[in-house]
Amino acid sequence: MKLGYLLRGLPGHPLHPPLTDATIGIYTFATVAALADVLGISDHAATQGWWLALLAGLITTMATSLTGLIDWLGITRGTELWKTATAHMVAMLIASVFFLLALLVGHDDFKAGDVTTGPLLLTLVGFGLLTLGGWLGGTVVFVHGMRVLNLVDEPTERAVSPVPKPEQEQAEA
């Protein structure tokens, strides 16, 4: 098996997209928890959930960013795909900075059990940028077709196999 599979995933089964699902889900929960606290739906528990979710999101962001960078490095510079992927990467990196700032600025809120205005705004801006970055990432896959094999007649047992098949490697190349 090729070493690149450990960093990029198998043909038709890249690592970056499922990691983005986890990261986006965690940050979405953090945003919902912050709003639940601010709206009085839940107090102390929501604040604890918000801050811990930001921490977990930043941890998953590291793996997600690494796999995304590896994919991005394989794109031909200056192409429309590269431009879209670069915009996706920039939006996600800036979103991550806002979430990191919310975590740092909001640590006292975490201890006090109450999300205040500054950390809430940082979280909301981060979430807005995350949403934009997710939209751009979807464009990379569903419009530009990056890492999509398009083997519509591939038999199920071959399509789901954890061992790459020659036609899958050829389609990805």
165 or 72: which leads in pLDDT: 72
Confirm if 135 and 122 have CB atoms less than 8 A apart: no
Confirm if 168 and 11 have CB atoms less than 8 A apart: yes
Digit-coded pLDDT (tens) for 121-133: 999 999 999 999 9
pTM over 0.85: yes
Residue 7, pLDDT > 90, answer no
Q: How far is CA 92 from CA 45, 95, 135, 148, 158, in A?
A: 28, 5, 11, 22, 34
Residue 9, pLDDT > 80, answer no
Q: How far apart are the first and last CA of the chain?
A: 16
Q: What is the pLDDT of residue 1?
A: 55
Residue 50, Ramachandran bin (φ over 0: left; ψ between -120 and 50: alpha; else beta): alpha
How far is 9 from 25, CA to CA, in rounded Å?
Answer: 21
- Looking at the 3D structure of the chain, how many domains does it have? 1
What letters, b where the CB count within 10 A reaches 16 and e where it falls short, cover 129-139? Answer: bbbbbbebbeb
Q: What is the pLDDT of residue 171?
A: 75
Residue 150, pLDDT > 90, answer no
Q: Using pLDDT thresholds of 50, 70 and 90, give the confidence band for residue 120.
A: very high
- Percentage of residues of the chain with pLDDT beyond 90: 70
Average pLDDT over residues 131-156: 89
Domain that holds residue 38: 4-172
Q: What is the pLDDT of residue 128?
A: 98
Residue 112, pLDDT > 60, answer yes
Q: What is the pLDDT of residue 15?
A: 87
